[in-house]
């Protein structure tokens, strides 16, 4: 089983629509969870951290289910500029600080 | 705040030569630096973790004698790819954690695209 699994997509979504991504992780020792955004051939940029209580940042809502080891991201009122690859990221846990990245979900917002 | 500068952004080298990549934290002290690489259509994979003043910890399958990491100061870490081969061609990216962070501390450099010919 991959450490972080995501549907690679692509998700083709019309502008203004709502889109949801999910990911699962295998390392139960992970304590920190994030969604990053990566544009083509660029470095990843933090979109938001994910907490068990769920958190919202503008049009973006993230949820974490520790029992199921499942993380989600919801994007409302999608914009053309939201087109990117969304990376589900967890820390390695167990005292190790590095991050484990999923392969990403490719999102294309269509006008 | 929390800016990490990585150089060079792009490098082409001949097979068998060595390439050094620099990663600098510009406005904070990076107590820990991470080096990742990303092959096309693959996820970023952690290569090694280095703490200032101590030897780097390498992930399984990463050759420490091939990928030399130096973290001699709180603002600079370097990755040297020794005797580079075409299969080392990849996107290498550093990340730093340290004092004075607002986003749980993982700030990434802009990456180095290495092509070995």
Cβ neighbours of A104 in B, within 8 Å: 43
Give the residue carrying structure tokens 């068998």: B16
Exposed / middle / buried, residue B11 (Cβ in 10 Å: 0-12, 13-18, 19+): middle
φ/ψ region of A95 (left if φ > 0, alpha if ψ in -120 to 50, else beta) reads left
Cβ neighbours of B60 in A, within 8 Å: none
Cβ neighbours of B106 in A, within 8 Å: 34, 46, 99
**Closest residue on chain B to A97 (Cα):** B49
User: Residue B74's pLDDT is what?
Assistant: 87
Distance CA B6, CA B41 (A): 22
**CB of A85 within 8 Å of any CB in chain B?**
no
Distance CA B67, CA B45 (A): 14
User: Residue B103's pLDDT is what?
Assistant: 47
**CB of B60 within 8 Å of any CB in chain A?**
no
Q: Which one has a higher pLDDT value, A40 or A107?
A: A107
- Listing DSSP states for B35-78 in one string gives EEEE-TTS--EEEEEEETTSPPEEPTT--TTTEEEEEEETTEEE
φ/ψ region of B8 (left if φ > 0, alpha if ψ in -120 to 50, else beta) reads beta
User: Residue A64's pLDDT is what?
Assistant: 96
- Give the long-range contacts of residues A50-55, CB within 8 A, separation 24 or more: none
Interface contact flag, A42 B42, Cβ < 8 Å = no
Give the residue carrying structure tokens 């630096």: B33
pLDDT beyond 50 at A68: yes
How confident is chain B (117 residues) per 10-residue block, as mean pLDDT?
90 97 89 92 92 88 94 91 96 84 71 97
User: Residue B102's pLDDT is what?
Assistant: 45
């Amino acid at each position: 089983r991959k450490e972080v699994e995501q549907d690679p997509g692509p998700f083709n979504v019309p502008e203004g629509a709502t889109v949801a991504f999910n990911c699962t992780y295998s390392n139960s020792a992970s304590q920190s969870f994030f969604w990053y955004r990566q544009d083509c051939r660029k470095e990843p940029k933090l979109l938001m951290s994910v907490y068990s209580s769920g958190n919202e940042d503008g049009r973006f809502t993230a949820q974490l289910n520790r029992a199921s080891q499942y993380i989600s991201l919801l994007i409302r009122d999608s914009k053309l500029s939201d087109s990117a690859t969304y990376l589900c990221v967890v820390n390695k846990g167990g005292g190790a600080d590095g991050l484990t990245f999923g392969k990403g979900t490719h999102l294309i917002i269509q006008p | 705040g929390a800016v990490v500068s990585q150089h060079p952004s792009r490098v082409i080298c001949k097979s068998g030569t060595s390439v050094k990549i620099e990663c600098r934290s510009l406005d904070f002290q990076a107590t820990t630096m991470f080096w990742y690489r990303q092959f096309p259509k693959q996820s970023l994979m952690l290569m090694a973790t280095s703490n200032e003043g101590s030897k780097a910890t390498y992930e399984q399958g990463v050759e420490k004698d091939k990928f030399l990491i130096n973290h001699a100061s709180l603002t600079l870490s370097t990755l040297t790819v020794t005797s580079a081969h075409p299969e080392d061609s990849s996107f290498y990216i550093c990340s730093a954690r340290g004092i004075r962070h607002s986003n749980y501390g993982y700030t990434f450099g802009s990456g180095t695209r290495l092509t070995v010919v």
